[in-house]
Structure 1
């Protein structure tokens, strides 16, 4: 494969789908460990219902058609295959060229997370917006996720930012672009701003990734209160990350062999981290959830998606970011009451700070109109 992007279509063979359905129909289910719904993880009753729907009623071919309505490509970048959606902005006569914008997802997510906002960004006029706010939207799959290959070196957020910069500048030929992301994608987005201020117009994150070590300036009282609350939250939430950080191949062996186990592992975090009030399907209907799960299954990439956890200690704190910065804070437990002062430790030019109290870890999917409006507002003065 050369650096020239090649058109790509999502396609899963009938043999893979038939094997998937056979495995789903033979699933063995556990009994709940707690009488409180979802208190001990994915509720076995809900999982039974979800697995039955996946095996009998979920229409993958319809999902496949919907995915392929977006222009997808693969290209060799930094010696590895990168998959991405490239949706060019609508440019009426007399309107300046759309600003290129790279959207980076996190875990346990995929490029699907960004699709609901993509059209709003590329063609704002079709959604009641100003055509001058159009973006050329690029949505890469993180290395090791679905159709993108893992890097040969350790997976770090800085390393992914270097890949994304090559994708945007050398592969796609953009001289200047903006960046947006949350979770892992938020870290990648921050590194893009830190490393390439000459090329990056601005960076916008939803989960304010913490990389400050507080060596030089101790945390303020508000910052310490937040850090203590985050540590307390992690006590009940971090079991998934402990095993993926220390024994990723062990849990991957189970999830690569059991689609029910895979969707349980993913759905647990979708419910916990979405702004769904405990009702997962208010944010992720079964069809969308199973689209993501089928992509992980068909590509055999659930295990490789853990690499960024195993390699996490190799990440370094992000240096000061001098390009314009924006935060639209996700409404999820881990970032409740995140103080603006912590963002200002990293962003030396924080121009946009918003706490809408809507949209969780997967904000671009959960609140696409909100995200589109926030991105338009932030980047509007940076388009020159």
Structure 2
């Protein structure tokens, strides 16, 4: 009798283990066409074309005229940035932008790395591809795809690239030397925007996977933050056999038991697997999470619902572009108060929040990549396509990732993700680092720290 009970128990446990065991699902790869009209019957041109960033005097003159017409509302006394972007500080930014910022010089900096374009799924995809200037004898570089987010660009990676492609000349060992590919998300900067609805992070991941194949890479590393973290996660869910390793500095991991422990985590941190550092970064909960999300996520809500409304401006170019409440009888909750370039600048700059680790030239260069290409609206649509359907509406949000993963937890990230949270979504997490400083735009703010953590992750993975 006892033997039968024992055998039944073992059998029950085995059945439970198989039923409850996580299935290593993959997303269907599928295909798409995002160009205008119907898909042509002819085969798509797969050539890779050199590209050069260029600008014109007409563009610069038009920009200057629009900046000069800006009409700002005085801030409240002692309000700092509590009511939004402080217009007294904005005057300084405008003055620098108009009188000192040298866009042509920045264009030369942008062209220091090789740029290319290629057509994938009906869209011209822009990317930079930076190879090591020198390699140790008998070595081959490790291909690394790095993906930006909003309102960032490929330019975010300009400072980290030398640490990855030429580490020996930048104070690091040459144990790991990478060749780096940084594409622009379609609808951002020099990558063509989709003409059709539904272009989300999964479609982007598939296009970037095709890009890597077109460049001759069957296996590669990927890295991302912000939207880049989701796009890279989706790539690992689509083609895990091609992704050697996934490195993130942001993780969307809200679907697990641990997020329900936030209210109790400070008192029972050990029970829920929180370290002292986790507690420091997450509590007091009301200030560091609840209030922070409420204060800083307004842009997200409107871009998830009405991206074209906030992206466009009213008025005719070159004429009455100064917008003011009530102009033209338009009564709307979102009256834009600035000419187009200032609207772009505000949306980009407010998300960047002016960290001390990068200059106005860095910020304005990033803004100009949106302004000169006219992509602020198409970039904002990415929010509606990914988040506009509701919470956990898409399959990939409910799936785990079974690719070796490294995570860099920067202390000033929008929302701290403890190791327990990350490991739930990424069970093959092999590296988790509490970074000493830095925030959301980590590759731009702390390029050496980020490069060191990527190298650490790759080293741990290759020693396994």
Give your verdict on TM over 0.5: yes
1:61 Cα deviation (Å)?
Answer: 0.7
Q: Distance in 1 between matches of 2:77 and 2:250?
A: 31
1:344 aligns with 2:423: yes
Equivalent residue in structure 2 for 1:236, among 289, 292, 295: 295
Q: Distance in 2 between matches of 1:252 and 1:224?
A: 40
1:248 aligns with 2:307: yes
1:375 aligns with 2:438: no
Q: Is the alpha carbon distance of 1:244 and 1:33 closer, same or farther for their aligned partners in structure 2, counting shifts above 3 Å?
A: farther
User: Which structure's CA Rg is the greater one?
Assistant: 2
SS at match of 1:162: helix
Q: Distance in 1 between matches of 2:185 and 2:289?
A: 26
Q: Is the alpha carbon distance of 1:367 and 1:90 closer, same or farther for their aligned partners in structure 2, counting shifts above 3 Å?
A: same
Say if 2:258 and 2:420, in contact at 8 Å, map to a contact too. Answer: no
1:268 Cα deviation (Å)?
Answer: 1.1
User: For structure 2, which runs of at least 5 residues remain unmatched after alignment?
Assistant: 1-43, 266-281, 314-335
1:218 Cα deviation (Å)?
Answer: 6.7
Name the structure with the higher helix share.
1
Q: Distance in 2 between matches of 1:328 and 1:247?
A: 33
**1:289-304 equivalences in 2 (<5 Å):** 289-304=363-378
- Tell me the equivalent position of 1:111: 154
More moved, 298-307 vs 83-92: 83-92
- Tell me the equivalent position of 1:258: 340
Q: Is the alpha carbon distance of 1:184 and 1:155 closer, same or farther for their aligned partners in structure 2, counting shifts above 3 Å?
A: same
Deviation per residue, 1:288-309 (Å, 9 max, x gap):
1111111111100011110111
1:242 Cα deviation (Å)?
Answer: 1.5
Q: Distance in 2 between matches of 1:200 and 1:223?
A: 36
- Tell me the equivalent position of 1:54: 97
1:235 Cα deviation (Å)?
Answer: 1.3
SS at match of 2:300: helix
Q: Distance in 1 between matches of 2:209 and 2:175?
A: 25
Equivalent residue in structure 2 for 1:310, among 369, 384, 394: 384
1:356 aligns with 2:435: yes
Say if 2:414 and 2:440, in contact at 8 Å, map to a contact too. Answer: no
With structure 2 as the length reference, what TM-score do the two structures score? Answer: 0.76
Q: Is the alpha carbon distance of 1:17 and 1:124 closer, same or farther for their aligned partners in structure 2, counting shifts above 3 Å?
A: same
- Tell me the equivalent position of 2:322: none
Q: Distance in 2 between matches of 1:189 and 1:141?
A: 13
SS at match of 1:213: coil
Q: Distance in 1 between matches of 2:398 and 2:127?
A: 25
SS at match of 2:406: strand
**1:205-284 equivalences in 2 (<5 Å):** 205-210=248-253, 212-214=254-256, 217=257, 219=259, 221-222=261-262, 230-254=289-313, 257-271=339-353, 280=354, 282-284=356-358
More moved, 226-235 vs 201-210: 226-235
SS at match of 2:109: helix
Q: Distance in 1 between matches of 2:198 and 2:146?
A: 22
Deviation per residue, 1:51-87 (Å, 9 max, x gap):
1111111111100000000111111122211111100
**1:1-384 equivalences in 2 (<5 Å):** 2-33=45-76, 35-151=78-194, 152-169=196-213, 171-210=214-253, 212-214=254-256, 217=257, 219=259, 221-222=261-262, 230-254=289-313, 257-271=339-353, 280=354, 282-311=356-385, 312-314=387-389, 315-316=394-395, 317=397, 319-332=399-412, 334-336=414-416, 338-382=417-461
More moved, 227-236 vs 262-271: 227-236
Q: Distance in 1 between matches of 2:339 and 2:210?
A: 35
Q: Is the alpha carbon distance of 1:20 and 1:290 closer, same or farther for their aligned partners in structure 2, counting shifts above 3 Å?
A: same
1:34 Cα deviation (Å)?
Answer: 5.6
1:183 Cα deviation (Å)?
Answer: 0.8
- Tell me the equivalent position of 1:276: none
Deviation per residue, 1:226-264 (Å, 9 max, x gap):
697634422111211121111111111138952122212
Q: Is the alpha carbon distance of 1:235 and 1:59 closer, same or farther for their aligned partners in structure 2, counting shifts above 3 Å?
A: same
Deviation per residue, 1:140-196 (Å, 9 max, x gap):
111110111223452322221111110001x20101100001010001111122221
SS at match of 2:432: strand
Q: Is the alpha carbon distance of 1:13 and 1:383 closer, same or farther for their aligned partners in structure 2, counting shifts above 3 Å?
A: farther
Q: CA RMSD in A?
A: 2.1
